[in-house]
A and B are shown apart, each in its own frame.
Chain A
Amino acid sequence: MHKFIKNLALIAALLSVAVSARAANVTVKGSDTLVILAQKWAEVYMSAHPDVKIQVTGGGSGVGFAALQNQGTDIADASRQIKAREKEACIKAFGKVPREYKVAIDGLSVYVNNANPVKDLTLAQLESIFTGQTRNWKDLGGPDAPITIYSRENSSGTYEFFKEHVLKGKDFSASAQTMPGTAALLQAINKDPNGIGYGGAAYGEGARALGIKANASSPAILPTEETVLNQTYPIWRYLYNYVNPALDKDAIHAYLDWIRSQDGQKIVKEVGYYPLPEALLSRQGLAAQK
């Protein structure tokens, strides 16, 4: 019986090789933050390599990891690092810890309505707003109006990153309205003079990004390429690709390398995120990180 299955696997492998010789299929799934960038990468790469087909879908970092462990995707996009529990699930599914590649840097902006007079907030104030302690703009130097919190669905990596880094792991206020994407969130804030929300810096249309102070005495820093890359802007993160090491070869490997090459990183800038610093690129090089 075992032999029979082995033979079947061999035949299947041969067949897949025969198919992949004609066209390599790469599936990418995961973070909604990365989805625009991933699609752009795929587009440019496919036009240069007509023999490779890349399918990109979003859904959230959690969705990407779930698909990675169910082997429903080759590459998982994530806007946060993989958790121990997800690693455990992957080991149980395919016996290896997924390989991690940093692919870009993102500064998380905090958005308010264009008409809002508040210009900057400290991290402590943000925490108190989003956990529901501070409920009125007048406590923050704004008009006497209740604060409407806009958040993201809890499958989003942006949600988890913000929760961990700004709320220090505390729960979001129950009255936070959840939006299915940064674009929808910005649209809501654009229509709501009392709204506040957070999202990737690549979107930045229709609402104003606040300056952020690390603490009350430090200067307010706006999210710009310079401040994010020299790490003076306090809310930034890496964006990642994860791949099953067994699959990290041929077309998939070439594609992952290309993403971290000059050409791939040029697109990062075009889409509105920040390219990885040179030092990190050469260190990540073409060798996989631990």
Chain B
Amino acid sequence: MTDKSKRSIGWMGLQRGHQARPLEWLVEKGILLVSFSAIAMVFLIFIFVARESLPIFLGQMNSASVQKVIPVADMDKLTPAQLQDYLGLTPKQFADMDDDTKKTLMEVKVDAAAEASKDKDAAINTTSWRYLLKPYQWTGYDKPVYIWQPVSEIQKYNIISLVIGSLKTTLVALLFSIPLALGAAIYVSQLTSPRKREFLKPAIELLAGIPSVVLGFFALIVMATVLQNIFGYQSRLNAFVAGIALGLAIIPVVFSIAEDALTSVPRSYTQAALALGSSKWQAAWKIVLPAAIPGVFAAFILGFGRAIGETMIVLMASGNASIVSWNIFDSTRTMTATIAAELAETVFGGQHYRILFMLGVLLFVVTFVSNMVAELVINRLKHKLEGKR
């Protein structure tokens, strides 16, 4: 190591080390590949989800159940191309199918037409954006409504109630967890003795280790009853209960990032403040917190992303009624819980299936953007505090 030439970068950035230790070099490249494959995975998953929902975005789906029916007796009058089109088969399926099966399929089509609704709304394509986002007065309703009724004679896919449900529970969760997590972070990073800190920090981060199913069950059985007795509201399971349970789940996320941001503020700031005669609390509140504000803000955004994407807790504790209201004591249905509860029984490739994937795309985009913003902010903060602009 005393020889200076060994420490030079060497030809084309290759150090002599990689010849001397080929194994290490190989491992390093392997790790690099793995990290890149993670990016590829995220990308692939997004492509898959987006592809499944593409027909909705492009407006290619049609849920109108009024279709022309051809009597079975007229089967021979159709050209093969017409028949294939009528039965909705791919050329390969059509070629492989014998005449009896085609006949059965035609009979079933007649049955389906008989099952189809005689409603005036049956001709509407309910998967178009107008019906996904705007209220409409369906048959039997006395005013225009936002309604999510995917299993119905006329499938109604209005997603507004689900979006509001997701935002409502997330908001409650953030309002509940941010003050607690931020308070804990300030205390642990600025005010407490090192001994207490060593015990407090892991304790709070242990919260993250509780499986969300357990939290959800706890909310469903214990918290719902206790909170109802305290506040005396109408429906036992609602956005408030789900939000509180969700808050418990995101406290460790917000806490650990906020705490990191506060701790990375140089000690010289605090010491200078203390030297000028400010108290410990003043230094923490007026000096350290403002310096770390971008990092703390990033912690909130990350908490938001985590809360809006959480499934199990809201599925168990929110009551899952798709009501459009901003009242947090109403039962509510979130986007994630809807996907979890309904995806299993949808017809593969059907409208309901694609709408659920569209919800998935929305969630993906929201969490992706919020996480990215948080990452950028944290990076900028690090550079700023380390004095590298």
Residues of A within 8 A of B (CB): 59-63, 66, 69-70, 83-89, 91-92, 95-97, 146, 148, 153-155, 159-160, 163, 169-172, 174-178, 180, 188, 191-192
Choose among B104, B149, B225, B321 the residue with the greatest number of A CB atoms under 10 Å from its CB. Answer: B321
| A70 and B161 alpha carbons, distance in the complex (Å) | 32
Find B341's partner among A87, A88, A178 (CB 8 Å cutoff).
A178
- Residue pairs across A and B with Cβ atoms less than 8 A apart, 20 shown, are A62-B151, A62-B345, A85-B347, A86-B347, A87-B111, A88-B108, A88-B112, A92-B93, A95-B101, A154-B345, A155-B344, A171-B152, A174-B147, A174-B161, A174-B323, A177-B237, A177-B321, A178-B333, A180-B341, A191-B236
A62-B345, A85-B112, A88-B112 are known; give 20 further A-B pairs, CB within 8 A.
Answer: A59-B344, A88-B108, A88-B109, A91-B105, A91-B108, A92-B105, A148-B234, A153-B341, A154-B151, A155-B342, A155-B344, A169-B152, A176-B321, A177-B237, A177-B331, A178-B333, A178-B341, A180-B315, A191-B236, A192-B236
- B107 to chain A minimum Cβ distance, whole angstroms, is 9
B322 part of interface (Cβ distance < 8 Å): yes
B89 part of interface (Cβ distance < 8 Å): yes
Find B112's partner among A84, A153, A174 (CB 8 Å cutoff).
A84
10 closest residue pairs by CB, A with B: A62-B345, A155-B345, A84-B112, A154-B151, A177-B319, A84-B111, A178-B320, A63-B345, A177-B321, A95-B101
Find A159's partner among B140, B151, B324 (CB 8 Å cutoff).
B151
State whether A66 and B323 are in contact (beta carbons under 8 Å apart), knowing that A178-B341, A191-B236 are contacts in the complex: no
State whether A191 and B342 are in contact (beta carbons under 8 Å apart), knowing that A91-B104, A154-B150, A171-B152 are contacts in the complex: no
- A217 to chain B minimum Cβ distance, whole angstroms, is 26
| A56 and B42 alpha carbons, distance in the complex (Å) | 34
| A146 and B150 alpha carbons, distance in the complex (Å) | 26
B115 contacts across to A, CB distance below 8 A = 83-85
B97 part of interface (Cβ distance < 8 Å): yes
- A171 to chain B minimum Cβ distance, whole angstroms, is 5
A191 engages B108 (CB within 8 Å): no
| A160 and B149 alpha carbons, distance in the complex (Å) | 12
A85 contacts across to B, CB distance below 8 A = 112, 115, 347
B205 contacts across to A, CB distance below 8 A = none
A154 contacts across to B, CB distance below 8 A = 149-151, 342, 345
State whether A60 and B344 are in contact (beta carbons under 8 Å apart), knowing that A84-B108, A87-B111, A146-B234 are contacts in the complex: yes
Question: B335-352: contact bitstring with A at CB < 8 Å (1 yes, 0 no)?
Answer: 000000110111110000
The closest CB in chain A to the CB of B97 belongs to A95
A59 engages B234 (CB within 8 Å): no
Within 8 A of A (CB), among B137-154: 138, 140, 145, 147-153
B98 contacts across to A, CB distance below 8 A = 95
B156 part of interface (Cβ distance < 8 Å): yes
| A23 and B115 alpha carbons, distance in the complex (Å) | 42
B108 contacts across to A, CB distance below 8 A = 84, 87-88, 91, 97
| A124 and B89 alpha carbons, distance in the complex (Å) | 43
B235 part of interface (Cβ distance < 8 Å): yes
Find B345's partner among A59, A96, A180 (CB 8 Å cutoff).
A59
- B385 to chain A minimum Cβ distance, whole angstroms, is 48
Find B149's partner among A59, A61, A66, A171 (CB 8 Å cutoff).
A171
| A97 and B111 alpha carbons, distance in the complex (Å) | 13
A66 engages B347 (CB within 8 Å): yes
| A180 and B342 alpha carbons, distance in the complex (Å) | 11
Question: B305-328: contact bitstring with A at CB < 8 Å (1 yes, 0 no)?
Answer: 000000000010001111110000
The closest CB in chain A to the CB of B331 belongs to A177
- A195 to chain B minimum Cβ distance, whole angstroms, is 9
B345 contacts across to A, CB distance below 8 A = 59-63, 66, 154-155
The closest CB in chain A to the CB of B320 belongs to A178
| A1 and B350 alpha carbons, distance in the complex (Å) | 32
B104 engages A70 (CB within 8 Å): no
Choose among A83, A87, A146, A174 the residue with the greatest number of B CB atoms under 10 Å from its CB. Answer: A174
- B236 to chain A minimum Cβ distance, whole angstroms, is 6
A155 contacts across to B, CB distance below 8 A = 151, 341-342, 344-345
Question: B283-324: contact bitstring with A at CB < 8 Å (1 yes, 0 no)?
Answer: 000000000000000000000000000000001000111111
| A160 and B104 alpha carbons, distance in the complex (Å) | 26
A97 engages B320 (CB within 8 Å): no
B236 engages A188 (CB within 8 Å): yes
B161 contacts across to A, CB distance below 8 A = 174
B236 contacts across to A, CB distance below 8 A = 148, 188, 191-192
State whether A172 and B348 are in contact (beta carbons under 8 Å apart), knowing that A84-B108, A84-B112, A87-B108 are contacts in the complex: no
Find A177's partner among B97, B151, B320, B342 (CB 8 Å cutoff).
B320
B147 engages A91 (CB within 8 Å): no
The closest CB in chain B to the CB of A192 belongs to B236
The closest CB in chain A to the CB of B139 belongs to A170
| A153 and B345 alpha carbons, distance in the complex (Å) | 10
- A166 to chain B minimum Cβ distance, whole angstroms, is 15
Question: B141-175: contact bitstring with A at CB < 8 Å (1 yes, 0 no)?
Answer: 00001011111110010000100000000000000
B333 contacts across to A, CB distance below 8 A = 178
B321 engages A175 (CB within 8 Å): yes
The closest CB in chain A to the CB of B96 belongs to A95
B101 engages A91 (CB within 8 Å): yes
- B152 to chain A minimum Cβ distance, whole angstroms, is 6
